[in-house]
Amino acid sequence: MKLEQSSLTSREILTPIVSVILALLVGAIFILIVGENPIEAYRVLFSNSLVGMDSIAATLQRATPLIFTGLAVAFAFRCGLFNIGAEGQLYVGAMAAVIVGITFSGLPKVIHLPMAVLAGMAAGGIWASVPGLLKAKLGVHEVINTIMMNFIAYFLTDYLVTGPFHGGRWTPETARILPTAELSRLLPPSRLNTGIIIAIAAIIIVYIFLWRTRLGYEIRAVGFNPTAAEYGGISISRNMIMAMVFSGALASLAGVEQILGVHGRFIQRFSPDLGFMGIAVALLGKNHPVGVFFAAVLFGALRTGAAAMDRLTDVPRELVVIIQALIIMFVAAEELTRRLMQRRRRA
């Protein structure tokens, strides 16, 4: 990959496709183990996630937070940073958004909603700036610090949702946000909401930022070759901190969308590993905003179809979690897929 290149090469598109096929094939073994027909199980899975308006809406709804976390991981990765703290960043972002969402009454929606969203982004950005700073100033590897900060975020939000902001009766959840802070539903009965529009806007903004602005160029230059970038007068530490802040802000939007658009309140540990799945989405999407979109839709479809498959066949829904893990492994093992593709070409 070259520094200037903003579109994906054919091999960069082919590797993920081969990886998905491989993962589905290995997944088929698990389906056979439980004594079901893989073709039938996959038919149920995909026909209930990709066919019909309700299914597509549900798939897009599940894809929305994954677009944000996928973009977050991809963005940091473009600067050579591995942000595995998206999970924590989305929790603090969600908490900040919900606090604004329940506290400020009497505001018009045009002010209240953006305020809640921005509060979430700010919280996520600040949270992510800590590992960014530690990396830039002290050279501490961001991976460990982002992992540690995930747990700190879990416990911090656990405390806030059961303590000062507890609003449920028996359940660990906050009060409901005011209607003026809600992301409106687009296609009821699905929970698809205007968060998808923010997600698509984020894809476009990230693309333009990374490939059409000076700041974006600097971030990519640091990720591409930090030594060369520094010779060229680009500050490594400034760009690393900035990349983490933007990455954290993007990740937080996943939490913001879940709270303001889906649950309407902060529920303790609401995220089904959305942050970690963002790593898979970014990898599968080759760290490209457009790739992230398609990868997120695929993962959204898997999650949506899993519920139907669980209901209509004997295959537990956790099959799709296994498939997602396999996708990560296969996509990351580029050498493996490359060899497989070469073998086929030779044969």
Partner 1 sequence: MWDYLVYFVNATVLAAALRMATPLILTSMGGIFAERSGVINIGLEGMMLVGAFTGMLTSYFTGQPWLGLIGALLAGALMGLVHAVASVTYKVNQVVSGTAINIFAGGVTVFLLRWIFDVAGTSPAVSRLPVVTIPLINRIPLIGPIFGTHNIMVYMALIIVVLVHIFLFRTVWGLRLRSVGEHPKAADTVGINVFLTRYLAVIVSGAMAGLGGAYLSIAHLSRFGDQMTAGRGFIALAAMIFGKWTPFGALGASLLFGFANAVQMRLQELGIPSQFVQMVPYILTMVALAGFIGRATPPKAIGKPYEKE
With binding defined as CB under 8 A, does residue 321 bind partner 1? yes
CB of 30 to partner 1, least distance (A): 7
Residue 47: partners with Cβ closer than 8 Å, 6 or more residues away: 55, 305
**Contacting partner 1 within 252-311 (CB under 8 A):** 273, 276-277, 279-280, 283
**Contacting partner 1 within 9-38 (CB under 8 A):** 30, 33-34
Residues 60 and 296: their CA atoms lie apart, in Å, by: 9
**Contacting partner 1 within 180-199 (CB under 8 A):** none
With binding defined as CB under 8 A, does residue 94 bind partner 1? no
SS3 content of the chain, % helix, strand, coil (to 5): 75, 0, 25
Beta partners for residue 185, in sequence order: 193
Residues 103 and 176: their CA atoms lie apart, in Å, by: 10
With binding defined as CB under 8 A, does residue 165 bind partner 1? no
The label of the residue with tokens 């009766």 reads 169
Give 163's DSSP letter: T
**Contacting partner 1 within 98-157 (CB under 8 A):** 134, 138, 140-141, 143-145, 147-149, 151-152, 154-156
Which C-beta is closer to partner 1: that of 260 or that of 274?
274
Residues 8 and 331: their CA atoms lie apart, in Å, by: 15
CB of 297 to partner 1, least distance (A): 19
CB of 159 to partner 1, least distance (A): 4
**In the numeric block, which tokens belong to residue 225?**
């070759």
**In the numeric block, which tokens belong to residue 143?**
């991976």
Give 75's DSSP letter: H
Residues near partner 1 (CB under 8 A): 30, 33-34, 82, 84, 134, 138, 140-141, 143-145, 147-149, 151-152, 154-156, 158-159, 163, 273, 276-277, 279-280, 283, 314, 316, 318-322, 324-326, 328-329, 332-333, 335-336
